[in-house]
């Protein structure tokens, strides 16, 4: 035990010293409960800034959910740490190790996985320590960053990784100068912010998109929240972080906020953006409370100028009438969820999924949308984990599916670039034999499944499926959530855009034309089969019309149209 830990919890908690002129206590040393509260503040602050972080997506697609993923990961970390209670005897070691476990199980998306590694590093550095001083914090941030780099096979600079290193380096400098916890954290935050500002210089894509790295921004927000707490300020009362209010429309993307609706949802899913009437300010807390009471499943974010609402209600008119009293409404979107549910229940293909695995191996796949799930099950997937483009599953969710799969050998298909790391993490943790075939899209996942050989062993299958999947090109048609110019393609918010292998490639006025344009770029002329997965919001007639147009343009091509039911993406196309 170090001298610091023997000083005792009560001493260190009282050990905050008044700074000259400052009202808030400052902290030379932090104990377990202090760390726990700082974590809660970091989590709460990130929650309030989720929309702003989400908006920092390079491509203006409606699935920029880095903020959501990092928040959910933080939330899981905090919840696990909080389980140990707030007893005075809690050590920073215990808080950090529980948080690391929570982050690991709750990690969603690549940024969430990296964040979970940061927690792992922290826990490793704090192992056996009762309290935390400036030097230990700096060492822990350094270990955290090193661990984060290890999470990624080919680390890319200009990302959360770089920001974590910037934070660690600045923290070390502050610690060497004898800084206490607060000063070291100040240093870390300053270092993180400075590095974040440089991320566009390191990654051309960020520069072109005019954004900083979203994961890096998320990390800065977490450090900010912890810093606010140490400064004695409540994250609930603060103005939103700089990013959230500077992003204008970006911070309030309608589509990105929408949640997946399950069978339990009913009524109308109502979304809108309220902007304060000129010269007035909004009483956000009051408005949020009132709106939330008018429906259920409410997600309401905002500040004095804007309120973004997502509410399920039986009376959308009443909600709109209430909101319009305070200013103007835009981005209004109302969906009848009862109809959606009926639609799905009435038309989803019959679930004739094989109860038995594919030989001695089961495949676990990630998918959003009833139709896509049915397609994967139809090809033999034993378990489907809901998620993908809009809601990345957590390590825990993937692990549960692996554990419930009927065999000891499992192949995991993440079907989304942002789920691959989580999948690898789940695979590492599982007690079964798991291989991840790193599919980045649904078409890749389907190609991988169709290359599954029932007689081959796990490794052979994983290799073959990986090889097949990597050769599959994916086209996706969605709508831009903000103005952007990427790779010479300029789009306005709301325009239909086409992505080819996740890269913004074309834009246009209607989704059918964009889909045709994508097909041409995918060399459909020399292909045999086009598969069109239609989104939840696409009418059958529109799908049939596009299918017919493809048939006219490529007479020798077979066109298969499947109701995928995926959110946000009107069409996903594959060519083979």
Partner 1 sequence: MAEPGRVRIVTDSTSDILPEWRERYGIETVPLTVQFGTDVYQDNIDLTPEEFYAKQEAGPFPTTAQPPVGAFEEAFRRMQAEGASGVCAVIFSSKLSGTYNSAALAAKNLEGEFPVEVIDTLSASMGVGYLALEAAKLAETGASLDAVSARVRELMPHVEVLFLVETLKWLERGGRINKAKSLLGSVLSIKPLLRLHEGQLEPFQQPRTRSKAIEEMIEWIKGFPDPAGVTVLYDGTSATRAEAEGIADRLGPSIPRDRVTIAHYGTIYAVHLGPRGAGAIVLRRV
Q: List interacting residues with partner 1 (CB under 8 A).
A: 349-354, 356, 358, 371, 374-375, 377-380, 446-447, 449-455, 528-529, 531, 558, 560, 562, 576
CB-nearer residue toward partner 1: 45 or 533: 533
- Residue with smaller CB distance to partner 1, 169 or 370: 370
In the complex, least distance from residue 466 CB atom to partner 1, rounded to whole angstroms: 16
Segment holding 102, helix H or strand E: helix 92-106
Positive or negative: CA dihedral 269, 270, 273, 279: negative
- Smallest separation, CB 339 to partner 1 (Å): 22
Question: What residues contact 249, with CB distance under 8 A and at least 6 apart?
Answer: 482, 493
Tokens read off for 336: 């009848």
Distance (Å, rounded) from C-alpha 71 to C-alpha 264?
24
Q: Taking the complex as a whole, how short is the minimal distance between the CB of residue 344 and partner 1, in angstroms?
A: 14
Give the Cα separation of 365 and 382 in Å (integer): 8
| Residue 233 Cβ vs partner 1, minimum distance, rounded to whole Å | 54
Burial of 454 (0-12, 13-18, 19+ CB in 10 A): exposed
C-alpha to C-alpha distance for 9 and 14, rounded to whole angstroms:
9
Residue closest to 539 by CA, chosen among 512, 575, 513: 512
Q: Which is nearer to partner 1, 333 or 454 (CB)?
A: 454
Q: How many Å apart are CA 67 and CA 77, to the nearest integer?
A: 15
**Distance of closest approach, residue 563 Cβ to partner 1, in angstroms:** 9
Name the residue among 459, 464, 458, 420 with its Cα closest to residue 439: 420
- The whole-angstrom separation of Cα 574 and Cα 560 is 10
Q: Whose Cβ is closer to partner 1: residue 97's or residue 466's?
A: 466
The residue (of 315 and 454) whose beta carbon lies closer to partner 1 is: 454
The distance from CA 321 to its chain's CA centroid, rounded to whole angstroms, is 33
Q: Are 66 and 258 in contact (CB under 8 A)?
A: no
405: buried, middle or exposed (CB in 10 Å: 19+, 13-18, 0-12)?
Answer: buried
The CB-of-391 to partner 1 minimum distance in angstroms stands at 22
Report in angstroms how near the CB of residue 553 gets to partner 1 at its nearest.
19
CB of 467 to partner 1, least distance (A): 12
Instruction: Please identify, using beta-carbon distances, which residue of 429 and 456 lies nearer to partner 1.
Output: 456
């Amino acid at each position: 035990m170090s001298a610091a830990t023997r000083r005792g919890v009560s001493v260190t908690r009282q050990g905050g010293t008044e700074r000259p002129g400052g009202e808030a206590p400052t902290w030379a040393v932090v104990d377990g409960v202090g760390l726990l509260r700082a974590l809660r503040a970091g989590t709460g602050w990130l929650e309030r800034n989720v929309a702003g972080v989400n908006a920092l997506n390079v491509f203006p697609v409606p699935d920029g959910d880095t903020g959501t993923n990092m928040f959910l990961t933080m939330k899981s970390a905090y919840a696990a740490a909080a389980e140990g209670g707030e007893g005075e005897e809690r050590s920073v070691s215990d808080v950090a190790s529980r948080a690391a476990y929570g982050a690991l199980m709750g990690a969603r998306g690549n940024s969430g996985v990296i964040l979970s590694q940061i927690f792992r590093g922290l826990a490793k550095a704090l192992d056996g320590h009762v309290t935390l001083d400036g030097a230990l914090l700096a060492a822990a941030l350094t270990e955290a960053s090193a661990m984060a780099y290890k999470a990624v096979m080919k680390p890319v600079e200009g990302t959360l990784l770089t920001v974590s290193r910037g934070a660690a380096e600045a923290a070390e400098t502050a610690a060497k100068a004898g800084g206490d916890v607060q000063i070291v954290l100040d240093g870390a935050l300053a270092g993180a912010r400075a590095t974040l500002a440089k991320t566009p210089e390191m990654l051309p894509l960020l520069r072109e998109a005019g954004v900083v790295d979203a994961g890096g921004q998320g990390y800065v927000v977490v450090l900010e929240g912890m810093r606010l707490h140490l400064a004695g300020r409540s994250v609930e009362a603060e103005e939103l972080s700089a990013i959230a209010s500077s992003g204008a429309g970006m911070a309030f993307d309608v589509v990105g906020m929408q949640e997946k609706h399950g069978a339990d949802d009913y009524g109308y899913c109502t979304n809108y953006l309220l902007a304060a009437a000129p010269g007035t300010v909004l009483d956000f807390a009051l408005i949020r409370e009132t709106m939330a009471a008018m429906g259920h499943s409410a997600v309401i974010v905002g500040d004095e100028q804007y309120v973004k609402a997502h509410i399920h209600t039986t009376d959308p008119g009443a909600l709109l009438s209430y909101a319009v009293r305070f200013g103007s409404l835009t981005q209004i979107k109302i969906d009848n969820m009862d109809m959606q549910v009926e639609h799905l229940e009435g038309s989803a293909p019959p679930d004739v999924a094989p109860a038995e695995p594919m030989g001695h191996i089961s495949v676990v796949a990630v998918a959003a949308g009833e139709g896509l799930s049915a397609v994967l099950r139809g090809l033999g997937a034993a378990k489907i984990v809901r998620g993908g483009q809009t809601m990345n599953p957590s390590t825990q969710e993937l692990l549960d599916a692996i554990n419930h799969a009927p065999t000891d050998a499992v192949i995991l298909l993440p079907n989304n670039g942002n789920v691959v790391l989580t999948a690898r993490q789940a695979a590492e943790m599982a007690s079964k034999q798991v291989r991840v075939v790193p599919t980045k899209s649904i078409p890749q996942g389907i190609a991988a499944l169709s290359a599954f050989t029932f007689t081959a062993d796990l490794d052979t299958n994983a290799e073959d499926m990986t090889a097949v999947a990597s050769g599959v090109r994916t086209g996706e048609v969605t709508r831009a959530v903000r103005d952007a110019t990427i790779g010479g393609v300029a789009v306005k918010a709301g325009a239909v855009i086409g992505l080819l292998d996740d890269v913004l490639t074309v834009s246009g006025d209607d989704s059918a034309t964009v889909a045709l344009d994508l097909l041409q770029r995918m060399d459909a002329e020399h292909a045999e089969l086009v598969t069109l997965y239609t989104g939840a919001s696409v009418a059958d007639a529109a799908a049939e019309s596009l299918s017919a147009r493809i048939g006219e343009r490529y007479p020798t091509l077979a066109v298969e149209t499947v109701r995928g039911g995926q959110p946000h993406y009107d069409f996903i196309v594959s060519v083979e």
